[in-house]
Amino acid sequence: MEHYTLRDPIDEDAKKELEAYSEFLQDLLWHRDIKNSMDAEEFLNPNYEKHTHDPFLMKNMERAVKRVLSAVKKNERIAIYSDYDCDGIPGATLLHDFFAKIEYENFTNYIPHRHEEGYGLNNNAIEKLYSDEVKLIITVDVGITCVEEVDYANSKKIDVIITDHHLPGPKLPNAFTILNPKQDGEEYPFKDLCGSGVAFKLVQALIAKGGFNLKEGWEKWLLDVAGIATIADMVPLVGENRTIAHYGLLVLRKSPRPGLMKLLRKLRMKQSELSEDDIGFMIAPRINAASRMDRPDDAFNLLRTRDEVEAGMLSDHLDKINNERKGVVAAMVKDIKKRIEKIGDGLGSVIVMGNPDWKPALLGLVANSLMDTYKRPAFLWGREGGESEGVLKGSCRSDGSVNLVLMMEEAGETLLGFGGHKHAGGFSVTNENVHHLQEVLNTAYEKTRLECGAESLIVDKKLWLDDVNWQNYKHVKALAPYGVGNPKPTFLFEDVVPFSLKQFGKVKNHLEITFKNGDKNVIAIGFFANSESYTKKVEEGKQISLIASMEKSTFRNFPELRLRIIDIC
């Protein structure tokens, strides 16, 4: 553990403001920049009515609603055109469910095939929708950079309403209208909605103006899918997103969707106890597996269907292809590790590898594994089926030693395009430039690393084993759901002595450390933690310092409070 920073203690003014809360909770709130009782109340007790904004505050919402309601009144054919990931597919589902609820039948859902059509709107899809007599396209999580494709739709007399949350390019598409909280001139109070979040705001507005005679608050049932997307898409879980995620989990724990219920039973997960981790590690990978390995419609139909038999078949299928995805990723990682062994000391500061046969959709997962193992950034490239022969696409992951966006900016014209954030990103490169990619990225890394400095692991509080108790866990849980912008609290346990060690799992790749605290045991778990970086540091009877989070395990239906290992020194 080379770099960690213990957060500063709470200041006296904030301590007085937050005196209604325990000292433990005061510290955690302070570390989330919550310094007064009003902000604390809003954060700890999200309220749907108070903490979601009027959808008509969003630029162009009135125009979008009028166009959709006009299409419904005239019985025009509407197409919901969504992205194929775990943001676009839930958004497609909530719009589908809205139209089904108001008994409007003249609509269709279109999700492009990841490998055959690629990301975003495409002219072949628009041609198909034109043949299907579509008059209005509503996008979900795509479209803000599709200038030429929207022009093509216009030439076919198809209106396009773009709902998206990605950053606009230098030129906006000439759409009928655009809903995007990040566009210029936007006065909507919250800018960080995911794609499904923007689609949910459209549904809220349509219900408000449509006179559909729906039961008040019916749209809350759509928060299960809006919540899945908000958590899975890694948008900041603060402000309105926190409210959507909070209520999304509440609805998800009661959701009557047969597909979700069948999938959860297959995965032996208790629906009534679902958490944001269950979405991130269990549900979202299976939704994303549909587009990575097969057809995205399968994930959409899992969320959409009300048929028990179809739900069972689709949950089995998505679990099966997710396991296949794991196998393919594991084989790619193994292959790359063999290459790295042959390279030896000549690997460089950045892992840069590729193969035209590799599916770009899987490369982020592979890059993440390599980054974890070798503790350095990893850039991997392959070829997408829908791309031109001269273009290669890739994914990259950073270990925190460098900001990927700054690094790719430094690479200059070698990259055809790129995007992402400091820890994860995507890029494209020509066949010609890929031969120089390793040299360029290693040079960019060294320059950017020196400018940025290494990233420290932030620790919330120093605790003792006595502090691992259900009362403190209650305070930790009160801050959930966790994600970007609201990370799980991390704690430092100094000079603790392992009583026993155990490797477990099918291939013994998980680590369990037991600490004695009087007559009680405190268990710490590290998944995929059999690497030398851990096992060399830990011996029975030898003092260590541990950085960990606190969590509740319900394995075999037995509630157990334990620590989740983050780092050891």
Q: Note the pLDDT of residue 1.
A: 42
Q: Note the pLDDT of residue 476.
A: 95
- The answer, yes or no, to whether the previous bond of 481 is cis (omega within 30 of 0) is yes
Asked if 159 contacts 136 with a C-beta cutoff of 8 angstroms, the reply is yes
Band of residue 350 on the pLDDT scale cut at 50, 70, 90: very high
Alpha helices in 165-234 (DSSP H): 195-210, 223-232
CA dist 88 and 411 (Å) reads 31
CA dist 376 and 245 (Å) reads 32
Instruction: Give SS3 for 145.
Output: coil
Mean pLDDT of the chain: 92
Best CA proximity match to 182, nearest among 192, 170, 172:
192
Instruction: Give SS3 for 22.
Output: coil
Best CA proximity match to 238, nearest among 17, 477, 550, 482:
482
Instruction: Give SS3 for 391.
Output: strand
User: What mean pLDDT do residues 40-66 have?
Assistant: 96
Indicate whether 534 pLDDT > 70: no
Indicate whether 265 pLDDT > 60: yes
Instruction: Give SS3 for 150.
Output: helix
**Residue 542: Cβ within 10 Å count:** 9
Q: Note the pLDDT of residue 118.
A: 83
Q: Note the pLDDT of residue 97.
A: 98
Instruction: Decide which of 313 and 390 is more confident.
Output: 313
Lowest mean pLDDT: which of 49-63, 208-222, 486-500, 509-523? Answer: 509-523
Instruction: Decide which of 546 and 537 is more confident.
Output: 546
The H or E element that residue 430 is part of is: strand 424-430
**Residue 419: Cβ within 10 Å count:** 13
Instruction: Decide which of 542 and 388 is more confident.
Output: 542
Best CA proximity match to 204, nearest among 188, 222, 187:
222
Band of residue 455 on the pLDDT scale cut at 50, 70, 90: low
Beta bridge partners, 514, equal 500, 523
Report the amino acid identity of residue 215: K
Best CA proximity match to 55, nearest among 43, 45, 68:
68
Q: Count Cα neighbours of 496 within 13 Å in the Cβ-side half-sphere.
A: 30
CA dist 469 and 178 (Å) reads 50
pLDDT tens digit sequence for 457-514? 889 999 999 999 999 999 999 999 999 889 999 999 999 999 999 888 777 778 899 9
Which two three-digit tokens encode residue 405? 């966006």
Indicate whether 531 pLDDT > 60: no
Best CA proximity match to 341, nearest among 370, 383, 305, 361:
370
Indicate whether 451 pLDDT > 70: no
Best CA proximity match to 565, nearest among 541, 533, 540:
533
Best CA proximity match to 163, nearest among 193, 142, 136, 190:
142
User: What mean pLDDT do residues 152-166 have?
Assistant: 97
Which two three-digit tokens encode residue 120? 């975003």
Torsion (CA) 126, 128, 131, 134 in degrees, nearest 10: -50
pLDDT tens digit sequence for 397-432? 988 788 898 999 999 899 988 887 788 889 999 999
Q: Note the pLDDT of residue 529.
A: 60
Best CA proximity match to 159, nearest among 141, 143, 182:
143
**Starting at the edge strand that comes first in sequence, how are the strands of the sheet with 134-140 ordered?**
107-110, 77-82, 134-140, 159-163, 177-179
Q: Which structural domains are found in the chain, ordered by start?
A: 4-8+458-568 (2.40.50.460), 55-252 (3.90.1640.30), 255-324 (no CATH), 348-452 (3.10.310.30)
CA angle 41, 46, 52 (to 5 degrees): 120
Give me the residue label for tokens 């900041």: 236
Q: Note the pLDDT of residue 537.
A: 77
Give me the residue label for tokens 């809350």: 220
What is the residue-wise DSSP string for 464-487? -GGG-SHHHHHHHHHTPSPBTTBP
Asked if 247 contacts 211 with a C-beta cutoff of 8 angstroms, the reply is no
User: What mean pLDDT do residues 301-325 have?
Assistant: 96
Q: Note the pLDDT of residue 78.
A: 98
Asked if 231 contacts 250 with a C-beta cutoff of 8 angstroms, the reply is no
Which two three-digit tokens encode residue 474? 């209650």
